[in-house]
């Protein structure tokens, strides 16, 4: 009889473990970014790596995002496999040229002759009063621009498995991790930030959504933090006799439209929940995809819950008012079921 050893890890420890395993497997994998060395990453994603691999492979950089993300591109073109951290996704404004004009386009402009096997990992999300310049998710901003795979896992298991896939992928991958799911001691302690993570190597594919709760009455699509809100709402809906199917998108690019459409064909109702801005965002893309492929399977209009096109406010109550939560999802589903 074999016993499977189960461990509980925080999101950030799961990510760091994936990076460590890949650095062991492949000497071309290295990490660079602000405070990724002794600090271990502001959100803990590189903790312990410098002690194991040294400062030649875990490199603290100057506060020069254009230079160090550009350097990751240049190194990737030389066959290295850099993992570069953009501390907060909100900082993309100082370096977006490198990200979308170069990282995302060089493989295409070269006719596939230049590969850029690199990971741009970055922290997203709010909920802790960090205000408008440190709380965004910006999922759609990156997902809109062709040439980058975009991953946004919601559990420690997926953070580890999808990070391994991202590092092994020959394309640029934007790996978004949610601050609240990292298990940081200096934020609210969420159960969702800790989970079972197997030791050793495994991968979780990019571009594949997961049905995290099967149901027959309504499909609720979430991403990263909102998946946990959706699951909370689904548990409460169950008490009312409503059986929700919950989909964790896990990746924005490639987007697993098939899993969504298959589910909608079963449940005939759709609610999409996003921590990004409402207009032109993920909720719009998912809704449009369902309208194109499964409009006549719907028994009621699609409902969307997202940040209502305002910057993230500082005041705690204001911030909670604009972010999605389980209560709002529950209310929307109740209304939808009564239509």
Catalytic residue among 102, 134, 178, 228: 134
Task: Please say which residue, 101 or 320, places its beta carbon nearer to another protein.
Answer: 101
Minimum distance between the CB of residue 120 and another protein, rounded to whole angstroms?
Answer: 13
Task: Please say which residue, 63 or 295, places its beta carbon nearer to another protein.
Answer: 63
Task: Please say which residue, 63 or 310, places its beta carbon nearer to another protein.
Answer: 63
CB 220 within 8 A of CB 329: yes
Q: Is the peptide bond before 254 cis (omega within 30 degrees of 0)?
A: yes
Minimum distance between the CB of residue 101 and another protein, rounded to whole angstroms?
Answer: 5
Among 39-47, 101-109, 129-137, 261-269, the segment contacting another protein (CB under 8 A): 101-109
Tokens of 269: 């109702």
> Using CB under 8 A, which residues numbered 7 to 66 contact another protein?
30, 56-57, 61-62, 64, 66
Q: Is 246 helix (H, G, I), strand (E, B) or coil?
A: strand
The C-alpha atoms of residue 172 and residue 328 are separated, in whole angstroms, by: 35
Q: What is the DSSP string of 146-200?
A: TT-EEE---SHHHHHHHHHHHHH-SS-EEEEEEGGGS--TTS---GGGEEE--SS
Q: Which of 10, 45, 46, 98 binds another protein (CB under 8 A)?
A: 98
Q: Is the peptide bond before 245 cis (omega within 30 degrees of 0)?
A: no
Q: Which of 19, 49, 73, 89 binds another protein (CB under 8 A)?
A: 73
**Residue 133 in contact with another protein, rule: CB under 8 A:** no
Phi, psi dihedrals of residue 121, rounded to the nearest 5°: -100, 145
Tokens of 140: 């759609």
Minimum distance between the CB of residue 170 and another protein, rounded to whole angstroms?
Answer: 5
270-277: strand order across its sheet: 210-213, 244-248, 218-222, 270-277, 303-307
**Residue 147 in contact with another protein, rule: CB under 8 A:** yes
Q: Which residues bind another protein (CB under 8 A)?
A: 30, 56-57, 61-62, 64, 66-80, 82, 97-98, 101-102, 106-115, 146-147, 149, 170-171
Q: What amino acid positions are annotated as catalytic residues? A: 134
């Amino acid at each position: 009889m074999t016993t499977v050893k189960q461990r509980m890890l925080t999101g950030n420890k799961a990510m760091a473990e994936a990076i460590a395993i890949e650095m062991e497997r492949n000497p071309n994998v290295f990490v660079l970014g602000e405070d990724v060395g002794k600090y271990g990453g502001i959100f803990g994603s590189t903790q312990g790596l410098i002690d194991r691999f040294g400062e030649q492979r875990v490199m603290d950089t100057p506060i020069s995002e254009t230079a160090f993300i550009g350097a990751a591109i240049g190194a990737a073109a030389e066959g290295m496999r850099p993992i570069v951290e953009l501390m907060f996704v909100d900082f993309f404004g100082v370096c977006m040229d490198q990200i979308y004009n170069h990282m995302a386009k060089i493989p295409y402009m070269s006719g596939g002759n230049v590969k850029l096997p690199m990971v741009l990992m970055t922290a997203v999300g709010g909920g802790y009063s960090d205000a408008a310049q440190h709380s965004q998710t910006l999922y759609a901003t990156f997902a809109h621009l062709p040439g980058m795979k975009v991953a946004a896992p919601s559990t420690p298991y997926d953070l580890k498995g999808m990070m391994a896939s991202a590092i092994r992928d020959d394309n640029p991958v934007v790996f978004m991790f949610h601050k609240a799911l990292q298990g940081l001691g200096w934020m609210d302690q969420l159960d969702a930030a800790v989970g079972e993570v197997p030791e050793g190597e495994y991968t979780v594919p990019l571009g594949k959504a997961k049905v995290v709760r099967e149901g027959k009455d309504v499909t609720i699509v979430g991403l990263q933090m909102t998946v946990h809100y959706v699951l909370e709402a689904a548990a409460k809906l169950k008490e009312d006799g409503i059986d929700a199917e919950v989909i964790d998108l896990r990746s924005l690019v490639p987007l697993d439209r098939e899993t969504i459409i298959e589910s909608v064909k079963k449940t005939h109702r759709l609610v999409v929940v996003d921590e990004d801005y409402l207009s032109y965002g993920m909720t719009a893309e998912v809704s449009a995809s369902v309208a194109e492929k499964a409009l006549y399977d719907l028994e009621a209009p699609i409902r969307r819950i997202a940040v209502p096109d305002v910057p993230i406010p500082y005041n705690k109550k204001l911030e909670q008012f604009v972010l999605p939560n389980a209560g709002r999802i529950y209310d929307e589903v109740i209304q939808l079921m009564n239509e």
